[in-house]
Amino acid sequence: MKIVMLGAPGAGKGTQADKIADQYGLPHISTGDIFRKNIKEGTELGKEAKGYMDAGKLVPDELTVRMLLDRVSQEDCSKGYILDGFPRTIPQAEALDSELKRLGENIDFAIDVEVPDQNIINRMSGRRACPKCNAIYHIEFIPPKKEGICDECGEELVIREDDKPETVKKRLEVYHEQTQPLIDFYDKKGVLHTVDGRVDAEDVFEAIRSILK
């Protein structure tokens, strides 16, 4: 069972990917983790990627796909895997599709966790982080016992740059421009399934479970 997770930043797709991984015993794979692992271990692919990154260039899609295929060829992926954060663009999706076809494989499910932009902006701008112990709060859903103060260490909480409304809006604009077309791409392949990400995380997961049955 090969799954691609889709959804805007802050939609909760990473949380759902973790739940699917636990439930079905599949590895949750993010390209960020793959890059870090290859670079840390000094693999040939890692050295190649580091060369681009050190030069301030984007790692080419072809190399990213090679790193991904190297990861999914490992034993723990024999029953399938969950891709989170890749593909991000149509060229990446086409490159992945082409390589999987060559191996006689394909993506079985593309799950889009759908949340309106304004909900995401409200959700993320309500986050507060502790700069000392990294604890995360939310002014509405997980408020600290004392407003603006970390329960764990007493440090003053901050709004991370990534959670500021203007930053979230920019990230959403990039998502709609680059990643939204993937929804049409997987819809045409007949593997797209959309779930309502506005409801409780457990309800979202139940909807996903009914799709994967």
**91-126 pLDDT tens trace:** 899 989 998 999 899 999 999 999 999 999 988 889
- 209 is a catalytic site residue: no
- 198 is a catalytic site residue: no
CA triple 97-98-101, angle to 5 deg: 85
| pLDDT value, residue 97 | 92
**pLDDT tens digit string along 15-43?**
999 999 999 999 999 888 888 889 999 99
Name the catalytic one among 50, 66, 171, 198: 171
56 CB contacts (<8 Å, ≥6 apart)? Answer: none
- What mean pLDDT is reported for the chain? 92
**β-bridge partners, 149:** 146, 156
128 or 56: whose pLDDT is higher? Answer: 128
- 71 is a catalytic site residue: no
What domains does the chain contain, in order, with CATH numbers? 2-115+173-212 (3.40.50.300)
pLDDT classification of 180: cutoffs 50, 70, 90 = confident
| pLDDT value, residue 194 | 97
- 102 is a catalytic site residue: no
Name the catalytic one among 146, 160, 170, 209: 160
Residue 178 has pLDDT above 90, yes or no: no
CA triple 99-93-195, angle to 5 deg: 125
- 160 is a catalytic site residue: yes
pLDDT classification of 57: cutoffs 50, 70, 90 = confident
| pLDDT value, residue 88 | 86
Residue 60 has pLDDT above 90, yes or no: no
Residue 171 has pLDDT above 90, yes or no: no
| pLDDT value, residue 140 | 86
Name the catalytic one among 13, 19, 123, 128: 13
| Residue that has been written with the tokens 């490992």 in this structure | 74
26 contacts 82 by C-beta, under 8 angstroms: yes
Q: How many residues does the chain have?
A: 213
Name the catalytic one among 37, 50, 66, 88: 88
Which of 154, 148, 159, 164 is CA-nearest to residue 132?
154
* φ/ψ (deg, to 5) at 122: -65, -40
pLDDT classification of 189: cutoffs 50, 70, 90 = very high
